Structure 1
């Protein structure tokens, strides 16, 4: 009763008494601001960007205060804000505009996007008075000047740095040279921007890349001028660093995917490295991609952008072909001096006469390259697409794939003395026999990283063999003779570079049923090959594939631009992203049909499917031209809202620009 009396005595604020609040509810039909009254007691704290508590549908829910107004268009009686959780303004106005644009682009709701953009509150960290002193005190140290042989190795590099320092919205797609110290180049671009009084947001794919860029920023910018955001920091430290950015105490923020939302003052540059990595795709609704979020942010803030990598995606190529960005690439003469010597093995199965080479299943050219590198005292990197020991086995007699008798899942071996185990249900079968011919002996269908390491150990006795993969990822390795077997994305950096890089089992990458199979193969090859020494310094890359294949040709010439242009042209002809835009609708067949009936799809929308999606689900793909993509997203969002308002019991997943189309 007392609390009711207190609420009855509330008086609205004298100025701007109406607060527009984004309420944290996941129902699509409620994706709009709701108006509440601000009491005079909360007037000072209730500023745009703070967290609040409100009564909504009889429940106390969280929300963000978006703005204040003199009056409301709501005809009924307005309720008061229940509580201003904290006076900390954690939702920056620029991030608010970005979140709304991203929600519209991906057919999502603002509340879903804000849940990604603003980390959970940590009250103790907010209350720490020493936060400003600990972070953001750069002292009197200046920025380090760009190193010789860095950006000046690219004809457009120095001009790009000058544009960043002048605050111009220079947008570029950067093809990094092999062996490039790319974290230092990014740090130099950040320094040029910060020197002009603007802020920088940098996004990398994983914690290993983040550590390298974090170190480079510290060396180039000096202390106290940047923070690194990483989910592995823990909630308190991550929120502490987020506050340093939201309070505009540091001009530069670097991090993994979540850093794309980092607030900085006077944004001048957004950077994404290796935009083709699938870690840049957000797995939570509305499933935005870091590249698209950063490019949208650059467009809204009228700032510079840098999309960099050793490889180039179709999306990056489209930026160049539409004129939205300019290319930063080295001249062919510089490239020839910096790249390793690349050789394909073709389809020739000839092996070296040495018995060790036969044991290691290496073509002679690959075995000779590894042997020469080891003899010269340099490490050798072997990239193997599959982890584990023998992830796939088959009957030794009839070659039929070994399948689980219970669930039909693939069988594999975890070690040489292991029994076949199902990868799906985990059941082991010590007495397995082929259902087709009765044979009990098994042979390898796919060889994993650990089995490869075992074979190489026999082929090169006395040479240390190390593995880097899901179980243990190595960051760096010494520059001495050693064999390093790594899965794609887990390749460690070698001191001084690798003497040889061997790309094995390439068919496993090239034959995947994926629209981006060739592009992803190119990206993984170039990322590994870039770790080798230059050809003049004895660096060698051997790709076990036919030299006539387009990805192999691009690797031989080290020409990711040619390959990306070729891929984009093919997708444009076939009507695939990024030349066209697609959305997937997944759910039970009746629910999918209901949503598509409710959606007023733009003219010219093609419906592809449906196809089974497992567990009594089906998937429908919708394809439109790029000019009608906004209309498709809007129609799907409205249709989802109608189903939500009708309290549909069965959910339907809507995903714009899905990473996997097949």
Structure 2
């Protein structure tokens, strides 16, 4: 109550006229009444406000960290019915958006946002601007999706607005007008099919069909059956009355799973979500999922946030593929997002690949997931025979000196072409080798932080992580002091191989033209890693050339990635019982090569995980990369309140990006000198590190720091490439 009203009350027989007890009570009442704020005006520019819950909390589409919070707006009676939680809205935002002059708000441009919730009162003490528009009454942001997006933003030191941009596709009005039919009844549980080849495969499907939530790391057997096996897992989940989500690395994998779902599940029961679909089609499929018309989804990484009803299973295939790492802020990885979804929705989780990443091995080692593998006997039956050719064999082989191919490879090609196509995998251009011991090929590592050593010139060595010099390097395995760097030369090798068999057709698959399927007739198929087409009936043989080109990359994941690429190509070859043979040109004693020969990617990942734990490398530790102009990186690290046990490696200079070279999202602007520092924390401290980096970045931006593309300080939590 205002002081004016108090005075009026006092003049009409107020508190001064009663007995002392009454006067005391009235004074106490008025003292409390003064603390109650004035009621908010119930109109805005003359328009009446909503009678109930007149305040809307909005997440505006401003992906900057110092604005990563909700903003309150008034809801007019006109927009009351449509302004429901989850809808898209437009609001005035910016300088003057909430400033009043002569009874009117001034300033502030219109910006899109999402209405998060409606409340009765606002924490903001000034007058509120009103919602400008409800773009669509379609509630696209559910509480479940909001909670997931917030978890992803916190994990990756990003903003909620940026995550929502990834999670919710742009609106298409035409697609919203489409009427979707009701969801089809739950299908019958599928047969076990090829899941029977795995020791716990049948039990996994049965658990899904009963409504269970098993979590498994699945090492798929060689061959094309993996797509059908995923389709059967999805069908079992739908049979329990729940939904399923499958995320794969690329469009070719989407087509394989899409085809398998059509055969196992039937048509009209699943949606396909890919970023390269047209805006209308993509939004229409997304709406079909949100409205519950379909309960199963397959797509690329853009589908990892798909709003599947009653989610019962999430599947991610080939999590080591770089395509599953988002290239837009805050750069989440599909595997991590689906792990969060499995925890949040208490649903089943299936991480599958013909290989095994260190992160997958850690999920099993921690007990979060269980292994789903086949017996060694079944593996030997389905995998091809793998033979190796090392440097000594190449040096003694006359055919290798003449055409850079050993006699063993010549023989494998000749024999394979008698019964079918032969695959030749050649490293793509741009592989940059790291340094290794010339005698035993052990990678050269820094004695301070175990990072990869690089050569600034022919004489000086320095660490690629912490930047410290290494004047007296000596191999930790054999004490040799000379280093080598492998020269790739893969294109010339492929050309010479093609000339050696002039009567055989040669097909190529790579960046400019990727083949999906080739006929099962004799032919040479030359492909870069990841672009290998499927051969009808399988390849008769495969050559994996210049293995050192992939093993020699200056990257912590070089061995893991090389093995993943080799196994992916070798999985397209017929089994050993059918005469399938793979020849790899790499040093036979190296762990990735031995893992390929034994077809044991899980064992290799487990040993790699143990070594990383000993050295404090991810994923056992959590790490973040901070990059930018040298002075800005130094200032950022100075003011950031990092956890006490955080270790800063660097900063070191990043290679200057040439104007004519393709630029990756993590590369500095063309021609600029940038530094990068790595911040490492022990296990269990990742959340604290992300929060500290996010707070420091928000404070920097609030002080006027740059935030545009190629500007300011970049933060990447869990960088995939820390070499």
TM-score, length-normalised on structure 1? 0.87
Residues 142-184 of structure 1 deviation map (CA, whole Å, 9 limit, x = unaligned): 4572353x11111111111111122222100000011151110
Residue in structure 2 matched with residue 596 of structure 1 by the alignment: 637
The Cα of 1:70 is off from its aligned counterpart by 2.0
Contact preservation (8 Å) 1:387, 1:469: no
Q: Which aligned pairs between 1:239-318 and structure 2 lie closer than 5 A?
A: 239-318=283-362
From the superposition, tell whether residues 189 and 217 of structure 1 become closer, same or farther in structure 2 (CA, over 3 Å). Answer: same
From the superposition, tell whether residues 210 and 161 of structure 1 become closer, same or farther in structure 2 (CA, over 3 Å). Answer: same
Is residue 521 of structure 1 aligned with residue 562 of structure 2?
A: yes
- 2:174, 2:382 → 1: CA distance? 51
Aligned counterpart in structure 2 of residue 111 of structure 1, from 146, 161, 165? 161
Aligned counterpart in structure 1 of residue 704 of structure 2, from 635, 647, 650? 647
From the superposition, tell whether residues 374 and 359 of structure 1 become closer, same or farther in structure 2 (CA, over 3 Å). Answer: farther
Residue in structure 2 matched with residue 397 of structure 1 by the alignment: none
Residue in structure 1 matched with residue 504 of structure 2 by the alignment: 463
Residue in structure 2 matched with residue 94 of structure 1 by the alignment: 144
Residue in structure 1 matched with residue 618 of structure 2 by the alignment: 577
Is residue 657 of structure 1 aligned with residue 718 of structure 2?
A: yes
Residue in structure 2 matched with residue 429 of structure 1 by the alignment: none
Q: Equivalent residue of 1:583, what SS?
A: strand
- 1:591, 1:79 → 2: CA distance? 37
Residue in structure 2 matched with residue 555 of structure 1 by the alignment: 596
Q: Equivalent residue of 1:446, what SS?
A: coil
Q: Which aligned pairs between 1:423-572 and structure 2 lie closer than 5 A?
A: 445-449=487-491, 451-572=492-613
Aligned counterpart in structure 2 of residue 631 of structure 1, from 679, 688, 695? 688
The Cα of 1:126 is off from its aligned counterpart by 1.1
Residue in structure 1 matched with residue 423 of structure 2 by the alignment: 381
Contact preservation (8 Å) 1:92, 1:246: no
The Cα of 1:26 is off from its aligned counterpart by 2.5
- 1:496, 1:278 → 2: CA distance? 28
Contact preservation (8 Å) 1:350, 1:364: no
Is residue 35 of structure 1 aligned with residue 72 of structure 2?
A: yes
The Cα of 1:445 is off from its aligned counterpart by 4.9
The Cα of 1:350 is off from its aligned counterpart by 6.2
Contact preservation (8 Å) 2:490, 2:546: no
Contact preservation (8 Å) 1:352, 1:367: no
Residue in structure 2 matched with residue 56 of structure 1 by the alignment: 93
Residues 601-652 of structure 1 deviation map (CA, whole Å, 9 limit, x = unaligned): 1120001001012422111110001211101111111111111111124621
Q: Which aligned pairs between 1:95-174 and structure 2 lie closer than 5 A?
A: 95-129=145-179, 132-133=180-181, 138=184, 142-143=187-188, 145-146=190-191, 148=193, 150-174=194-218
Is residue 26 of structure 1 aligned with residue 55 of structure 2?
A: no
Residues 327-356 of structure 1 deviation map (CA, whole Å, 9 limit, x = unaligned): 000011111111111111122026877x7x
The Cα of 1:362 is off from its aligned counterpart by 1.6
From the superposition, tell whether residues 576 and 563 of structure 1 become closer, same or farther in structure 2 (CA, over 3 Å). Answer: same
Residue in structure 2 matched with residue 211 of structure 1 by the alignment: 255
Is residue 201 of structure 1 aligned with residue 251 of structure 2?
A: no
Q: What's the C-alpha RMSD, in Å, of the aligned pairs?
A: 2.0
Residue in structure 1 matched with residue 652 of structure 2 by the alignment: 611
Gaps of 5+ in 2: 1-42, 95-107, 434-485, 657-671
- 1:479, 1:554 → 2: CA distance? 28
Contact preservation (8 Å) 2:395, 2:401: no
Contact preservation (8 Å) 1:126, 1:240: yes
Residues 86-108 of structure 1 deviation map (CA, whole Å, 9 limit, x = unaligned): 00111222111110000000000
Which 10-residue stretch deviates more, 197-206 or 73-82? Answer: 73-82
- 1:501, 1:277 → 2: CA distance? 21
Which 10-residue stretch deviates more, 31-40 or 484-493? Answer: 31-40
Q: Equivalent residue of 2:556, what SS?
A: coil
Gaps of 5+ in 1: 1-5, 393-443
Larger Rg, first or second structure (1 or 2)? 2
Q: Equivalent residue of 2:223, what SS?
A: coil
From the superposition, tell whether residues 607 and 580 of structure 1 become closer, same or farther in structure 2 (CA, over 3 Å). Answer: same
Contact preservation (8 Å) 1:359, 1:455: no
Contact preservation (8 Å) 1:391, 1:447: no
Residue in structure 2 matched with residue 427 of structure 1 by the alignment: none
The Cα of 1:447 is off from its aligned counterpart by 2.6
- 1:169, 1:142 → 2: CA distance? 19
Residue in structure 2 matched with residue 325 of structure 1 by the alignment: 369
Residue in structure 2 matched with residue 3 of structure 1 by the alignment: none
- 2:634, 2:498 → 1: CA distance? 57
From the superposition, tell whether residues 469 and 176 of structure 1 become closer, same or farther in structure 2 (CA, over 3 Å). Answer: same
Residues 51-101 of structure 1 deviation map (CA, whole Å, 9 limit, x = unaligned): 000111211111001112222222222221111000011122211111000
Contact preservation (8 Å) 2:247, 2:299: yes
From the superposition, tell whether residues 391 and 477 of structure 1 become closer, same or farther in structure 2 (CA, over 3 Å). Answer: farther
Q: Equivalent residue of 2:263, what SS?
A: helix
Residue in structure 1 matched with residue 442 of structure 2 by the alignment: none
- 2:523, 2:189 → 1: CA distance? 36
Q: Equivalent residue of 1:349, what SS?
A: helix
Is residue 15 of structure 1 aligned with residue 58 of structure 2?
A: no
- 1:11, 1:521 → 2: CA distance? 66
Residue in structure 2 matched with residue 430 of structure 1 by the alignment: none
The Cα of 1:197 is off from its aligned counterpart by 1.0
Is residue 45 of structure 1 aligned with residue 88 of structure 2?
A: no
From the superposition, tell whether residues 360 and 378 of structure 1 become closer, same or farther in structure 2 (CA, over 3 Å). Answer: farther
Contact preservation (8 Å) 2:247, 2:300: yes
From the superposition, tell whether residues 215 and 180 of structure 1 become closer, same or farther in structure 2 (CA, over 3 Å). Answer: closer
Q: Equivalent residue of 2:113, what SS?
A: strand
Contact preservation (8 Å) 1:177, 1:310: yes
- 1:26, 1:206 → 2: CA distance? 27
Q: Equivalent residue of 1:231, what SS?
A: coil
From the superposition, tell whether residues 78 and 577 of structure 1 become closer, same or farther in structure 2 (CA, over 3 Å). Answer: same
The Cα of 1:267 is off from its aligned counterpart by 0.8
- 2:84, 2:490 → 1: CA distance? 56
Residue in structure 1 matched with residue 410 of structure 2 by the alignment: 367
From the superposition, tell whether residues 198 and 504 of structure 1 become closer, same or farther in structure 2 (CA, over 3 Å). Answer: same
- 2:212, 2:617 → 1: CA distance? 33
Aligned counterpart in structure 2 of residue 176 of structure 1, from 190, 215, 220? 220
The number of equivalent residue pairs is 595
Contact preservation (8 Å) 2:270, 2:295: yes
Q: Equivalent residue of 1:16, what SS?
A: coil
Aligned counterpart in structure 2 of residue 339 of structure 1, from 346, 360, 383? 383
- 1:24, 1:234 → 2: CA distance? 22
Residues 277-314 of structure 1 deviation map (CA, whole Å, 9 limit, x = unaligned): 01111111111111111111111111111100011111
Which 10-residue stretch deviates more, 472-481 or 75-84? Answer: 75-84
Contact preservation (8 Å) 2:183, 2:295: no
Contact preservation (8 Å) 1:143, 1:220: no
